[in-house]
Amino acid sequence: MPVVHVNGIQLHYEEAGEGEPVVMIQGTGAGGTVWQLHQVPALTAAGFRVITLDNRGIPPTSECPDGFTLQDMVGDVAGLIEHLGIGPCRVVGTSLGAFITQELALSRPDLVRRAVLIATRGRTDMLRAAITRAEIELHDAGVELPARYAAVVRALKALSPRTLDDGEAMADWLDLFELSPAAGPGQRAQMDLSTLDHRLEAYRGIRVPCQVIAFADDLITPAHLAREVADAIPGAEYELVEGCGHYGYLEDPATVNKVMVEFLTGAAAR
């Protein structure tokens, strides 16, 4: 289990494959293993060396329960890239991981060759702010929801109507969500970062080639907010995947992987 000391923390990462490196960053509460079901096999098959990591807040990486900032997390990824000596490299992030990726591309373009931003946004609107506040208040009140109820709420937030209406698929998703561990102190610290500052004007300064992937049924980071990021970043490409919610890279991995691999392997990426 490779663990390195970077940016004042112990950071856990995994590697697979050989070739040009791709660093993959997950979202709030998720570990790097989530990528291993669909995205890591697709990227290694395309000839990449894939590095997945557990963000600050997610064990066995340091939990940092006293809290941290988005820039702390950006520094963690920068430190890992520098430790491995792989910059500039390709970087892929989803949700909070996409926030980290776009901030890294802005502040450390020397470390990023190309960036894929999945389920992202560049500001926090009224509904997303309300959702975050409500979840934080529920957590801080010490309320423990019944596991099945929590699983149903998570499904409604993260999946598309297409998946929600598929009884066989939903049985599997609900079982998976019900078995997920409760949020720990590190995940609670990550929740504070969901209220992203308005960063669209700053993102006009990104010069790294970017691919934005949005999902038509995403409640958490809706497609119109992802479109704003693509419009702000000069030359950014935009792809809308239909029939998917926030977990679109798991609901329709074939489509997401195709867009991602084509962007990362394009002639301009070499």
SS3 125: coil
Out of 54, 76, 160, 246, pick the active-site residue.
246
**What digits encode the pLDDT tens for the residues 22-72?**
999 999 999 999 999 999 999 999 999 999 999 999 999 999 999 999 999
Whether 180 is catalytic is no
Please give the helix or strand (H or E) that residue 53 lies within, else none. strand 48-53
- Residues of the chain with pLDDT > 70, as a percent, come to 99
Extract the tokens encoding 184: 């720990």
Out of 12, 62, 76, 95, pick the active-site residue.
95
Q: Name every residue whose Cβ is closer than 8 Å to that of residue 73 and which is 6 or more positions away in sequence.
A: 55, 56, 96, 100, 193
SS3 94: strand
- State yes or no: pLDDT of 80 exceeds 70: yes
- State yes or no: pLDDT of 225 exceeds 90: yes
Q: Cα–Cα distance between 36 and 60 in angstroms, integer?
A: 17
Is 111 within a domain?
Answer: yes
Is 168 within a domain?
Answer: no
Is 154 within a domain?
Answer: no
- Phi/psi at 14 (nearest 5 deg)? -130, 155
Whether 218 is catalytic is yes
- State yes or no: pLDDT of 194 exceeds 60: yes
- Min mean pLDDT across 11-20, 109-118, 185-194 is at 185-194
The verdict on pTM exceeding 0.85 is yes
pLDDT of residue 267: 54
- State yes or no: pLDDT of 20 exceeds 60: yes
- State yes or no: pLDDT of 268 exceeds 60: no
| Amino acid letter for position 128 | R
Q: What is the CATH number of the domain that holds 210?
A: 3.40.50.1820
Extract the tokens encoding 111: 């470390």
Extract the tokens encoding 80: 């890992």
Is 150 within a domain?
Answer: no
pLDDT confidence band for 184 (50 / 70 / 90): confident
Q: Cα–Cα distance between 63 and 57 in angstroms, integer?
A: 4
Whether 198 is catalytic is no
Provide mean pLDDT across the span 107-135: 96
Number of domains observed in the structure of the chain: 1
Within 10 Å of residue 253's Cβ, how many Cβ atoms? Answer: 17
Q: Cα–Cα distance between 139 and 164 in angstroms, integer?
A: 25
pLDDT of residue 257: 98
Residue numbers of the domain that contains 220: 3-144+182-265
Under a CB-based contact definition with an 8 Å cutoff, are residues 215 and 256 in contact?
no
Out of 72, 76, 218, 252, pick the active-site residue.
218
Is 47 within a domain?
Answer: yes
pLDDT of residue 182: 79
Q: Cα–Cα distance between 54 and 12 in angstroms, integer?
A: 6
- State yes or no: pLDDT of 269 exceeds 70: no
- State yes or no: pLDDT of 123 exceeds 60: yes
pLDDT of residue 73: 98
Provide mean pLDDT across the span 142-154: 93
SS3 19: coil
Provide mean pLDDT across the span 13-21: 97
CA distances 111 to 12, 23, 78, 158, 206, Å, are 19, 11, 7, 31, 13
- Min mean pLDDT across 97-101, 185-189, 230-234, 237-241 is at 185-189
Q: Name every residue whose Cβ is closer than 8 Å to that of residue 102 and which is 6 or more positions away in sequence.
A: 93, 115, 117, 120, 122, 199, 203, 206, 210, 229, 233
pLDDT of residue 61: 97
Q: How does the average pLDDT of the chain come out, rounded?
A: 95
Is 166 within a domain?
Answer: no
- State yes or no: pLDDT of 181 exceeds 90: no
Is 191 within a domain?
Answer: yes
Provide mean pLDDT across the span 179-186: 85
Is 207 within a domain?
Answer: yes
